[in-house]
Structure 1
Amino acid sequence: MYATFPDLLRLLFVPALAWAAYHDLRVRRVPNELWYPFAALGLALLAWEYVLVERTSLFLVRAAVSLLVIPLAYLFWFVGGFGGADFKAFCVVALLYPTYPSYYLADLALPLVRTQLGVFSVTVVTNAMLASLGYPLALGLRNALAGVVSKLMFVGRPVAVRQLAAAHGSLLETPEGFSRGGLDLDALRMYLRWRGVTLGRLLAQPERYRDPATVPAETNDPGDGSVTTEPIPDPASEPAPREDADEYDDPWGAARFLDDIDSTAYGTTPRKLREGLDVITSQERVWITPGVPFIVPLFVGLLLALTAGDLLFALMRLIGLV
């Protein structure tokens, strides 16, 4: 294979992004330290290519368009469209791939399809968006093969409530019915750890734990809600529930939990937490949306971009739009 030295260096990001996609899919966490070297590499290669290779206004325009991916990705992160690791991955792609790389294998020049715009990061992003469209279809097929047919079969899957401690995503249910704004399962794990109670104990005695008086005076650090095999610390003491109370000012101690921690627990509100706890303690199975990290389709989009090129542009060319 023949390629310029900067383009060869850019290939180092491919296995790193593959590892990030695998790790994010398994535990929904990617170390921040992964992104910094590649962001620095992207900046260095930008300067290198402008000073030593391109030095044209067209290169600067393409670099500027590529960098526009960063504020757009930030906007999606800000509104909750995807997570922090997804945002950082987009930033690295914007810095590393402002223009199309070139790789020559015998008589084959990759990528095969290049756009007139010539901004490779945009190609990676559009490919990733196209790749992400396959996930609902795969989820629906999985549910259908399991004999589960529902209007939610393309956006979620049913799981036993006792498995939620190790599941990723968010609930698709509230006491009023199906909802896309259900409780984040990371927030549920944070709540359980903060309170010092396992999911099994909470499910076995929901009326006890619904009483805010049973929240220990000394609570635990809630952590970040990641799935872990580390046991939940037992509280030093757990107050007894009140025997004469039917209604509570703060059911489940939800408001106290959110007041006590140093984060928003992934956008959770006291009402959302209470509704989620009411749902999981009243049903055997619930619908959740797995919430696949966008790093996964981003990795697929990068692989496709490096080989096939821009899929959307190829499709538009095929039907005569360009």
Structure 2
Amino acid sequence: ADWRTAAAYLTLAAVFCGFFYLFQAMNLFGGADAYALIVITACIPFHPFETISGTSPLGFFPFTVLINAVLINIAAPLAILLKNLIEGNRAPLSCLFLGFPVSGEKIQNEFGFVMEDIEEGEDGRLVRRFIGFTESLRRIIRGERRIYTKDLRQHPDEYQKELTLYRKAGRVWISYGIPFIIPITAGFLTALFVGDIFFVIMKAIAGM
């Protein structure tokens, strides 16, 4: 029945909005990213018209937008890996996909999250440790904020110790800082006109 379909869409939209808000609260999404997805979910829960690739099997427009955004965003780590390999940068494999080293003197002018814990030992030597994805997730769950270069730029007085260590380190690894709102925008436009990219890829592989 139509009312059951409408109720299902409303329930799904409410669940998605709740998840996006929760991800923002846990710093997994930026505020603008989460609210953009919430607005899309609330205003366009289903495809407004048939796309170039036909009707999406998912049927839920915000999910198609999110999947498209994630697939588009995958291109960035591959480009970062290539950059690190060409420049000969050395780090754990996962970090080679997610970030790159920048000048410690100018780190506050970059965009991204700091991927290293740097401390100074009693002998004056620096002790450095990469912060992997799992460790980052644990810190987020514990409510610990990651160091964002924007915070270093806007609140230098609060990060005097860190800035001093970064300058002494010379080069510091940061994650790439492409705002997810850019892939979301691209995901929205492709979902609106092209359709579900993942579905298109699967159809091409299957030769349909």
Q: What per-residue deviation string (whole Å, max 9, x for no partner) do you get for residues 105-124 of structure 1?
A: xxxx5242323442111111
CA distance in 2, matches of 1:170, 1:129: 19
1:179 corresponds to 2:104: no
Q: Given the alignment, which residue of 294, 298, 314 partners 2:184?
A: 298
Q: Which of the pair has more CA radius of gyration?
A: 1
CA distance in 2, matches of 1:112, 1:316: 12
Structure 2 residue aligned with 1:277: 163
CA distance in 1, matches of 2:14, 2:57: 18
Q: Which amino acid aligns with 2:151?
A: A
Q: What per-residue deviation string (whole Å, max 9, x for no partner) do you get for residues 38-79 of structure 1?
A: xxxxxxxxxxxxxxxxx6432342243233221110121121
Taking structure 1 as reference, are residues 277 and 166 closer, same or farther at Cα in structure 2, changes over 3 Å only?
Answer: closer
Q: CA deviation at 1:275?
A: 6.5
Q: CA deviation at 1:188?
A: 1.7
Q: CA deviation at 1:158?
A: 1.2
Which protein has greater RCO, CA pairs closer than 8 Å, 6+ apart? 2
Structure 1 residue aligned with 2:83: 142
Query: Is the Cα contact below 8 Å between 1:63 and 1:119 reproduced in 2?
Result: no
CA distance in 2, matches of 1:146, 1:307: 38
Greater fraction helix: 2
Structure 2 residue aligned with 1:190: 154
Query: Is the Cα contact below 8 Å between 1:170 and 1:185 reproduced in 2?
Result: yes
What SS does the aligned partner of 1:157 have? strand
Taking structure 1 as reference, are residues 290 and 116 closer, same or farther at Cα in structure 2, changes over 3 Å only?
Answer: closer
CA distance in 2, matches of 1:191, 1:58: 49
Q: Given the alignment, which residue of 163, 171, 177 partners 2:106?
A: 163
How large is the RMSD of aligned CA atoms in angstroms?
Answer: 2.5
Structure 1 residue aligned with 2:140: none
Query: Is the Cα contact below 8 Å between 1:173 and 1:287 reproduced in 2?
Result: yes
Structure 1 residue aligned with 2:31: 84
Alignment: residue pair count: 182
TM-score by length of 1: 0.50
Q: Which amino acid aligns with 1:294?
A: F
Query: Is the Cα contact below 8 Å between 1:173 and 1:279 reproduced in 2?
Result: no
Q: Which amino acid aligns with 1:177?
A: R
Q: Which amino acid aligns with 1:186?
A: K
Q: Which amino acid aligns with 1:125?
A: L
Q: What per-residue deviation string (whole Å, max 9, x for no partner) do you get for residues 23-52 of structure 1?
A: xxxxxxxxxxxxxxxxxxxxxxxxxxxxxx
Q: Which amino acid aligns with 1:300?
A: A
Structure 2 residue aligned with 1:311: 197
1:68 corresponds to 2:15: yes
Q: CA deviation at 1:149?
A: 4.7
Identity over aligned pairs, percent? 30
Taking structure 1 as reference, are residues 282 and 303 closer, same or farther at Cα in structure 2, changes over 3 Å only?
Answer: same
What SS does the aligned partner of 2:163 have? helix
CA distance in 2, matches of 1:63, 1:123: 16
Q: Which amino acid aligns with 2:131?
A: S
